[in-house]
Amino acid sequence: MMGRQDYTREELDGGRTRIGAAAPHAALAKTVGASKDATIAGALSAFDAGYFNDLMSALDRLYVQRVRKVTGNDTNPLTEVDLLVDSILDHGGVLTKLNAIKYVPQQSLVGLQVGDEITLTGDQFAALSTAFFAELEERFVTV
């Protein structure tokens, strides 16, 4: 498939809905936290380590054809998702630099350094996905 320089409002809203469907996790985490059972809390924590990385990959997949000339090569939510997903899928979950992106950890939302293991939390995923959709809307959505 060829690269995309724009997306429709419907494509953006559809992606927000699909990724937003993961919201029941917050209710589950709240219930687990209220239980005060360390075994259950540990199980949720172990689950989260892969869950949010996988959800980040799903987010990226919805808009995988976005072109670099629109995305940019600076540190922004779109390039941060590119970098994280590439590292999750192709580098064993260790943040690895891509030559096409000028990654500056201090400007990123997740704040990982090159060489760090990627284990996203719910809060990190929420912040990055919200910023991703806002940036996608600004740069790619046609009026």
What residue ranges do the domains of the chain occupy?
Answer: 9-140
Mean pLDDT of 45-73: 92
pLDDT of residue 123: 87
- The band of 135, judged by pLDDT with boundaries at 50, 70 and 90, is very high
Q: Is the pLDDT of residue 1 over 70?
A: no
- Per the model's pLDDT, the better-predicted residue between 96 and 39 turns out to be 96
CA–CA–CA angle 99, 89, 41 (5° rounding): 125
Q: Which residues pair with 7 in a beta bridge?
A: 141
pLDDT digits (tens, 9 = 90+) for 90-109: 999 999 999 999 999 999 99
What is the C-alpha to C-alpha distance for residues 71 and 7, in angstroms, rounded to an integer?
12
DSSP string, 17-44: HHHHTTTHHHHHHHHHHHH--HHHHHHH
For the chain, report the end-to-end CA distance as a whole number of angstroms. 23
Q: How far apart are CA 23 and CA 6, in angstroms?
A: 27
Q: Which amino acid is at 14?
A: G
Asked if 25 and 45 count as a contact pair (C-beta separation under 8 A), the reply is: no
More confident residue, 1 or 142: 142
Mean pLDDT of the chain: 91
